[in-house]
Structure 1
């Protein structure tokens, strides 16, 4: 679910008073940027080719935080180079390919729910479901052997943690992960597996990818789809449990689930702010002209709650509006993994509420614990009972 993100973590931030759609901010790194808070201007900024992702990765470009993707990652590229890499992997996330994964996602979800039920009647949904499920799905999609899953998860969680692990530990884990991926690619060359990594190896053999691009793409797809999906699952269940009317509506009417998934994505996106983009020529955004060299970030949280677009933006009100939220981004960098993220969210909510119709927040002092120091929003714990 490789979202276009790059923001701090935490509960829903306090919103600024309505005003200009584009405002100057000082970033956590001490640089100056333009923050877009308007839905329409956000869509414009995310799709404008004059606002460059590649320029934002240059050494002296303004930075939002230190959790930005590498310059050779697909989400850091512009133009023909970006389009070429995206074309190579897009088939893995086609509607047909994702739909074919549904039975496996359902089976994995049911296995985790059965384990929760056996250990119940209460549980932490993050450690028991929201964290292990996306990892298992991604390992299946990319072609990571099941026995390697636990080791891989430890590597990824260290890399995503921007405060709790030291830079030296991060560097060591990153090198270990690169070594692992390189070894796995070599092992898969002699096999005929039906997975994404095998398809990428074939693309490299046909000259569509360099060896370095193959390695980076494999790592990018795994890492972009893991922490974002973990966070989105936890945030979505929390939003439903915090709104009794919405919870009952979805539980009693299965047909209401599809629009509710979209509304949950709108209301509580795991990615609050887009990756920065740097202007390569003057760009007019509302009342502001962004000058060459200046950076822009789009607040997906603000755009998804624009009062000009949604009459009741602060609650779960599916089917009141068919406007498209910004959670998966917009334009050429729109999240490739969006169909897979939606599939997991829909299946998890459906199975979870049917298995535990009395699901509610646990009656404990701290049922909800927010993760700290990640580049995406998410929960460290979501304690429930049934």
Structure 2
């Protein structure tokens, strides 16, 4: 695999992401009709993600430029800046301590093996998305947060709707949001009455001690679910597809290979918008107060001036990819995602060393119109 952008032009992408960049910072039109500055240069992307003059909180204001018809709650950890964000992040960080993440390994391994048993029983032509890539992250989250596995159908439709970039089905998406809020509120009430060893029970205790409010607790639970389920499921499906159709090395799975798959095919191709709270300069582009900036993780991860080397990272000094973001909002769940991908891909190769994409129409179906990128069907043979 090279560092060029052309290789990742598979599947549906918004027009402003489907071609090599015209400039390091370019003006693009979003599906809403609003314009934003799209950063495609790696160094400028890192700078923008760490710049406190670019505010996530300001992006939630009603009059701010929007990329879709539904935005995150202003109380979400993903929508806050400064001290409020840092406070919630400290509370949420309890989810991803080394001990807590390591403890999930046995759960993920057991779930992966059970799911692959079902795939094998279904026989060649089985769908690895519905049979493996999609349910596995929900099992991990169910264990981590204390969410019953039987509740997965609630999130399959509702969480996906929150990432829809199109302006269609506004009413339906609003109902999905309400469904999620109501469910999380009910789940929290249950944890308050009967706490357990799970993370959500720990977050309820933080609310009871006054560290966070109830609305912050609900939004924090939803943020962990959205980030941990939807994006991880898509990331895993994209990694499997790359292994089946790309030019990834065929040797043993190592940490560097998983990291490279994350760099090459990020399931979140662009960041949430940030709005300038004062005039600033990005490279040679002046961004005015009130204008919105998004960073193309897809372009930055394929910046030919940074990622020149072959696929597997052999040099520890190679710059880190931006799939997990950068700065104050860098994904806290990165260690859990890495653990899931290492286990899932290793178990998959061990079980099906001759795995290949099924040679039939409709074997590969992409998800469309989403801020998260992935496939909805991946039929395989072995």
Q: Normalising by the residue count of structure 1, what TM-score does the alignment of the two structures yield?
A: 0.90
Deviation per CA, 1:222-265: give whole Å up to 9, x if none.
Answer: 12221101110110011111135x3522xxx24xx210010001
Distance 1:185 1:224 in 2: 19
Residue 296 of structure 1: SS of its match in structure 2? Answer: strand
Structure 1 range deviating more: 283-292 or 354-363: 283-292
User: Offset at 1:14?
Assistant: 3.5
**Does 2:345 match 1:382?**
no
* 1:1-386 aligned within 5 A: 10=12, 13-16=17-20, 20-161=23-164, 166-243=169-246, 246-249=248-251, 253-254=252-253, 257-312=254-309, 316-319=311-314, 322-386=318-382
TM-score by length of 2: 0.91
In the alignment, structure 2 segments of 5+ residues that lack a partner are 1-10
- 1:175 Cα shift? 2.3
Deviation readout 1:178-209 (Å, 9 max, x if unpaired): 22222221221132311111000000111001
| Cα 1:350/1:11, change in 2 over 3 Å | farther
The CA distance in 2 between the partners of 1:380 and 1:221, in whole Å, is: 22
**Rounded Cα–Cα distance in structure 1 between residues aligned with 2:285 and 2:44:** 11
Verify the 8 A CA contact 2:154 2:180 in the aligned structure 1. no
Partner deviation per Cα, 1:133-164 (whole Å, 9 max, x = no partner): 11121122111123333344343345445669
Uncovered stretches (5+) of structure 1, i.e. residues with no partner:
1-8
Which structure has the higher relative contact order (CA within 8 Å, separation 6+)?
Answer: 1
Q: Within 1, Cα distance between the matches of 2:297 and 2:213?
A: 34
Q: CA deviation at 1:167?
A: 2.9
**Maintained 8 Å contact 1:135/1:153:** no
Q: Which residue of 1 aligns with 2:8?
A: none
Q: In 2, distance between residues paired with 1:170 and 1:27?
A: 18
Paired residue secondary structure (1:309): coil
Q: CA deviation at 1:11?
A: 5.3
Distance 1:90 1:23 in 2: 35
Q: How far is the alpha carbon of 1:277 from its aligned partner? A: 0.8
- 1:254-282 Cα offsets, whole Å, 9 max, x none, are 4xx21001000100001111111111112
Q: Is the 8 A contact 1:33 1:297 kept in 2?
A: yes
Counterpart of 2:318 in 1: which secondary structure? coil
Q: Distance in 1 between matches of 2:372 and 2:83?
A: 28
Partner Cα separation in structure 2 for residue 31 and residue 112 of structure 1? 43
- CA distance in 2 between counterparts of 1:52 and 1:67 reads 18
Counterpart CA distance in 2 for 1:284 and 1:159 is 31
Report the 3-state secondary structure (helix = DSSP H, G, I; strand = E; otherwise coil) of the residue aligned with 1:241. Answer: helix
TM-superposed CA distance for 1:95, in Å, is: 2.2
Counting matched residue pairs gives 369
Does the CA contact (< 8 Å) of 1:160 and 1:227 recur in 2?
no
